[in-house]
A and B are shown apart, each in its own frame.
Chain A
Amino acid sequence: MDGLKFVGKRIPKKDAPLKATGEAIYIQDLKVPGMLYGKILYSKYPHAKILKLDISKASALPGVKAVITGGDVPNNFKFGFLKDNPPLKSGKVLSTRDEIAAVAAVSQEIAEEAIDLIDVEYEELPGIFDPIEAMKEGAALVHEEFPSNVLKMPWKFVHGDVEAAKKESAFIAEDTFSTQWVTHCCLGTSGCVASFDVGNTLTMYSNTQIPSLAQGDFLEALKAFGLKNKRVRIIQTVIGGGFGSKLDTYAYEYIAILLALKTRRPVKIVFSREEEFLATSPRQPTITKISQGCDKDGKLTFREMAMVLDNGAYTSWGATTPSVMMVPISSLYKVPNIKYTAKCVYTNNTYSQAFRGYGNPQATFAIESCLDQLAEKAGIDPVEIRRINANESGEVTPQNFRITSCGMKDCIEEVVKRLDWKNKCKRGNGKGVGMASLIHVGGAARVYKSDGCGTIIKVDDNGKVDVITGASEIGQGSDTIIAQIVAEVLGIPMDDINVINNDTDVCPWDVGAHASRTTFVAGNSALGAAQKIKAQIMEIAAKNLGEPVDALDMQDGIIFSKNDKEKSIPLGKVLRKAHYSLGGRMLVAEHFYDPPNENFDQTFRGNLSVSYAYGAHGVEVEVDRETGQVKILNYIAAHDVGKAINPMLLEGQIYGGGLQGIGYALGERMIYDKGYLKNGNFLDYKMPTVRDVPPVQAVIVESDEQAGPFGAKGIGEPGLVPTAPAIANAIYDAVGVRIKDLPITPEKILRALKEKEGQKA
C-alpha cells in the first residue's frame, strides 16, 4: 500500500494542543448557568439495615436545595444489566458503596457539609465477602429475592471431548490461579451535569464511553420517573480516560437526574479521587482452576477451565466478561478439546465492571502460566510449545471464530529475537525471561444487538470538511485516526478536517468505545462516508473539467485530471459551483458500518469479531532473592495490528497497556477487608509511577487485515492482556518460584523462595 500520505504516518493527536494548554473542557471544568452541586452519602457498612435516616438538619442548611433518599426514587426504579441496582438504596445496604442519600446545594462546600448532617442509624448484619463461601448451600443471600448468590447466567462452553483427551494426553498440567480487584485510575474522575429544559428534555453532560447506550438507559429511567416520550441528549465533555470505567451507567448519573428534576436546576456530580476509588467498578477478581494437556510432541490436546468471579452486590455489564474470557480460552493456540464454565457470584463487596481486556487478562494469566508449567512437564522450551501450537490464518476455532489475518508467529519470533531468548533463559543467576501470547477481538465484537457506527461527512463552500462520527474520543486518539482516514481518501490536508464526536443530537449511533473496536468500526464507517462524498465531489468536478470521473484525482485539496495536469480545480471552487447554481446543492454523505460479525448462539459459538488481534510479550526480570523485589530489565511487546494507521498513537496504546499490565502484575490491588476498601487513594494503591517505567519496546507487526480500514485491526486493549503471565513466567525462570495469585508482591516471592528452601516464613 504505497503512496499513502496520511495513513501510516506519525501524526500528533488533533486534541494535543488543547490538552497541553489546559484549554480542553473536562467535566470537572464545566459550569452551566444556574447549576447546583450534588453530593452522595454512601453506606457506612457493607451489610446493614437502615433503622433511621434523618435528613432534616441537612435540608435546613442554608444553600441546600434538595435532599433525596431511596423513597424519592419513583416506581422502584432499578438499573444495571440485571436491573438489580436502585440508584438510592432504602431499607438495606449491601455494600459500602451503596448510595443512601444525596444533596443538591449551591456550592460544593455546602453540599459536603449537608452530607455530614444526615443522620443515619444502622443495624449491622453479617456479610458475605468470599465468593466461594457465597456459593455454598445455605449461605445467606445477598439479594433475598433471588434463589441463589450465583447469577443466573450459565456460562458454559464445551467443544470436543475433554475427558477422552485427558486420557490420551502424554502430559497434563493443572493448577489454580487467582486475580485481584484493580481499578482504572482515570486521570479524569467520573462526573456529569444533568439538566432539564422546560419541556423536560434531559441534557446530560457526561464523560461516558457509551453515549448511545447511555441515552437509552436514561430514556428508560425518565419513563420510570413518569416522563414518557421525552428526549435525552448526551453531550460528552473531553474525556480524561475511560478504560471501561465509563462503559455503563451508574447510580450517580440517575441521582443527578433525580436532583435536577426535583430542583428544576442543572445538577453537577463529579467524583473526588477517593470517591472514584470507592464508587466506580473495578476489574472482577477471579479464581480459576485450569488443566491443560499435550501429546508427546507438545501439541495441545485439551484445555479445561472453571472460573469463579466475584460479582459484588450488584450486576453491571461486567457480568458478561466470561463471554470475552472465552476468546482466549477457546482460541488462544490450537486446542481441539475445550471445556469452560464460569460462575458470577453475588457478595457484599464492590460490584465489578468492564476494564480494558474485559476478562481476557484474567483468563490469559491462567492459560499462559499453566502453559509454561505444561512445557516444563513435557520438557519443551516455552517458546517451542508456543510455536508448535500457534494460531494461523484460515483456522476455524472451536467457537467458530474464522481467523483471517494472523501475525501470532511473527510476534513470537520478534520477542525471541529481541529478548535474546536462547542466551537469556535458564541462567539461574536471579535473572530470567518469560513470555506470553494473546488473542483478542480485533475487528469489533458483537456483544450488543448492533455493533455499528455511523459517520456523516459534510463539506462547506471553502473545501473544509466536517466529519460527524458516533465514535467516542476517550484519549485513545480516535479523532486523529478518523481524520487520517478521511484525509487519505479525499486527498485534503489534516487541518481541513474537523471531527465532531460529542453530541447525540448531532452524531450518528455507535455502540461505544469498547472491545478495541473504534479504529476498525468507526474507521470503516468514516472510510465509507469519505468514499461516498468523494464520489459526489468527483461527479461535479468531472462536469466542470469536462473529464470522465475515473480520470480525476485529488491531492492537497486540488482536483486534477490524471491525463492532463493542467486541467485542475480547487475543491472549494467545485463546492461553490455546486452550491451557487440553479438547483444548487450542499454535499453531505453518510455511512453506517455494521461489521459482518455474529452474536454467540446458545452454545456460545459464532464469529464474534471480523478479525482477531494477536500479540506476544516477552520480559526479562531480575529478582532480588533477599527482598523478593522484581526489576524489569527489558520488555518487548509485539502486536499484530493489521496496519498501523498512526504508529505513534499505536505505540502509545502499547506502552499504556503494557504499563497498566505491569501494575496489574506487580503491584496494583484494591485491598478489601470484609467489605471495606482499605486503600482508596494513590498513596496506598500502588499504580506505577513514571519512575517505575521499564524499557519497553513496542513492536508493530503488520498482517494487512482485508476487512479493516486500510488493513487495520484493533489495539486498544491487547497491550495489557499477556503482561502478567509473561512476568510470572520470567520470575519462574529467574528464581524457580511460580506465583499464581496476582499481584506478584515481594512478600509472595520471598515466602515462596523460603518454602522452596524448606524454611518457614
Chain B
Amino acid sequence: MGSFEYLRPASISEAIALMEGSGGRGVYIAGGTDVMVLIRQKKIFPGCLISLRNIGDLAYLNTASGLAIGSAVTHNAIAKNEFIQKKYTALTDATNKVGSLQIRNVATMGGNICNAAPSADTACPLLVLDAQAVIAGKDGDRKVPIDDFFLGPNKVALKPGEILKGFAMPAFNGRTGSAYIKHTRRQAMDLPMLGVAARITIRIDGDEIGCKDALCTIDNISNILRRFEDEKLVCEDIRIAMGVVAPRPMRAKKAEEALKGKVISEALFEEIGEIAASECQPRDSIRGEAWYRRDMVKVLTRRAILRAVDRVIRPDDMIWPERLW
C-alpha cells in the first residue's frame, strides 16, 4: 500500500475546496470499505484521502416529508431505523444484507451508490422509491433522479469535486409496500447474483385493505391474495428495479407499464416477471450464468411484488428480516 495524506474536513465546502486543491489526486472516502480495497489492490493510487466522516451535513436522517437520508449514514443505521422498516422496507431489506455487521457499521449508502457497482444492493430500492440524488457542488446543491445518476459500471453523474450529499424520497400513501430480494449463494458476505426490488401501491374500492382473520397471519401471501380475488385489488402504482442484469441497476419499465392499473393476481405477477426478464441483459460471469440470472429475474420479480403486496396487506409483519443481526 502506497502512502497518502488523510484529510478530515469539517464541512462540505471545506471538503470541496480540499478536493480542488488536490491536483486531481484526491479521493473522497466515507466508510472506506470500497476505497481501501481498491488501494490495497493497487487499482487506485490517491495522493490524499478526503474523509467525509466528520461532516454533520452528510449524516442526516429526516422523516418530516418523505424520507431524506444523508450519504454518510451507514447501512446499519438505515437497517435499524423503524420508520424505514415500516415505510421504506425495501431499503431495510437491502441494507440488512450488505456484507457483514462489521461492514454495515462503517459502510455508507452514499458510498454504495457512488461506487456504482451493478450489484450495489441499495441501488434497486432507491430506484423503486423514486429517490433523487442530492448533489453538493461549489455553486450549491442540485438534484438528479437516481435513475439518471448511474451512468455505467463505477460511473456516476458527479462532476469533479462534487459530493453526493444524500437522497430524497417522496412520501407514499399507506397502501404502499416495497421489498428487495437479494439472490445470493450464501447468507452473508456475498454480492447478489442478482437483485430485484419492487414498490407497489394498491387501490381498493370501498373498504380498507388488511387481513381480518387469524388465518391471515399464518397463511402464505399467495393464498391470501387468492382470497382477495373478488375484492379487485388494483395496482395503482408500481416500480420494479433489477441489479446485476445490465451494466447499471435498471428499472423494468415495460413490466411496470404492464402492471399499472391492472387487477393484481399472482398469475399476472408471473407475466410481469416474464416481461422484466425480457428487458434485462444479463451476462455470463464467474458469479452466475446469464440464462440463470434471466430465469431468476422472472421468479424474483414475482416474489418481490408479492412480498411488497404482503407488506400492504399485513403491515404488522413488516418488521423484517426474521433475524435481526
A→B interface (CB under 8 Å): 109, 626-628, 667, 671, 678-679, 682-684, 686, 688-692, 745-747, 750, 761
Contact = CB atoms under 8 A, between A and B. Distances in A.
Contacts of B299: 626-627
B186 A688 contact: yes
B186 A667 contact: yes
A689 B286 contact: no
B312 to A, nearest CB: 23
Contact of A750 (B185, B186, B191, B292): B292
Contacts of A678: 286
Contacts of A683: 189-191
A689 B187 contact: yes
B189 A682 contact: yes
Interface string B270-302: 000000000000000011110110011001000
A378 B213 CA distance: 50
B183 interface: yes
A690 B183 CA distance: 18
Contacts of B214: none
B286 A684 contact: yes
B287 A689 contact: no
A667 B185 contact: yes
Interface string B177-193: 00000010111111100
Contacts of B286: 671, 678-679, 684
Contacts of A627: 183, 296, 299
Nearest to B186: A692
A689 B188 contact: yes
A628 B296 CA distance: 10
Contact of A686 (B183, B186, B292): B186
A31 B183 CA distance: 44
Nearest to A690: B188
A692 B188 CA distance: 8
A683 B189 CA distance: 7
Contacts of A691: 186-188
Nearest to B292: A747
B218 interface: no
B190 A686 contact: yes
B288 to A, nearest CB: 8
B1 interface: yes
Given A667-B185, A683-B189, A747-B288, 6 more contacts: A667-B186, A683-B190, A684-B287, A688-B186, A689-B189, A692-B187
Contacts of B292: 628, 746-747, 750
A394 B1 CA distance: 62
The 9 closest A-B pairs by CB, nearest first: A691-B187, A691-B188, A689-B188, A626-B299, A747-B292, A686-B185, A678-B286, A692-B187, A692-B186
A373 B85 CA distance: 49
Contacts of A667: 185-186
Contacts of B187: 689, 691-692
A689 B190 CA distance: 10
Contact of A689 (B186, B191, B291, B295): B186
Contacts of A689: 100, 186-189
A745 B187 CA distance: 15
A761 B291 contact: yes
A337 B160 CA distance: 75
B78 to A, nearest CB: 20
Interface in B170-223: 183, 185-191
Given A671-B286, A679-B286, A684-B287, A750 B295 contact: yes
14 contacts: A626-B299, A627-B296, A627-B299, A667-B185, A683-B190, A683-B191, A684-B286, A686-B190, A689-B186, A690-B188, A691-B187, A691-B188, A745-B185, A747-B292
A747 B183 CA distance: 13
B34 to A, nearest CB: 12
Interface in B222-263: none
| Residue of B190, B288, B289 ringed by the most chain A CB atoms within 10 A | B190
A746 B296 CA distance: 11
A683 B191 CA distance: 8
A622 to B, nearest CB: 14
Nearest to B100: A689
A62 to B, nearest CB: 15
A537 to B, nearest CB: 52
B294 to A, nearest CB: 11
A301 B246 CA distance: 55
B311 to A, nearest CB: 21
Contacts of B186: 667, 686, 688-689, 691-692
A521 B187 CA distance: 40
A434 B183 CA distance: 26
Nearest to A682: B189
A38 to B, nearest CB: 18
A721 to B, nearest CB: 23
A678 B285 CA distance: 10
A689 B288 CA distance: 19
A628 B190 CA distance: 18
A692 B186 CA distance: 6
A550 to B, nearest CB: 60
Contacts of B1: 109
A550 B83 CA distance: 77
A747 B284 CA distance: 12
Interface string B61-104: 00000000000000000000000000000000000000010000
A690 B189 CA distance: 10
A626 B287 CA distance: 19
A93 B1 CA distance: 29
A239 B10 CA distance: 45
A667 B288 CA distance: 12
Contacts of A686: 185-186, 190
A686 B186 CA distance: 7
A257 B299 CA distance: 57
B190 to A, nearest CB: 7
Contacts of A688: 186
Contacts of A109: 1
Nearest to A689: B188
Contacts of A679: 286
Contact of A747 (B100, B190, B289): B289
A277 to B, nearest CB: 13
A761 B286 CA distance: 18
Contacts of B100: 689
Nearest to B302: A626
A686 B288 CA distance: 12
Nearest to B187: A691
A50 B183 CA distance: 44
Nearest to B300: A627
Nearest to A684: B286
A679 B286 CA distance: 8
A445 B292 CA distance: 45
Contacts of B288: 747
A682 B188 CA distance: 12
A390 to B, nearest CB: 35
A688 B187 CA distance: 8
Interface in B290-321: 291-292, 295-296, 299
Contacts of B295: 750, 761
Nearest to B1: A109
A679 B313 CA distance: 43
Nearest to B189: A689
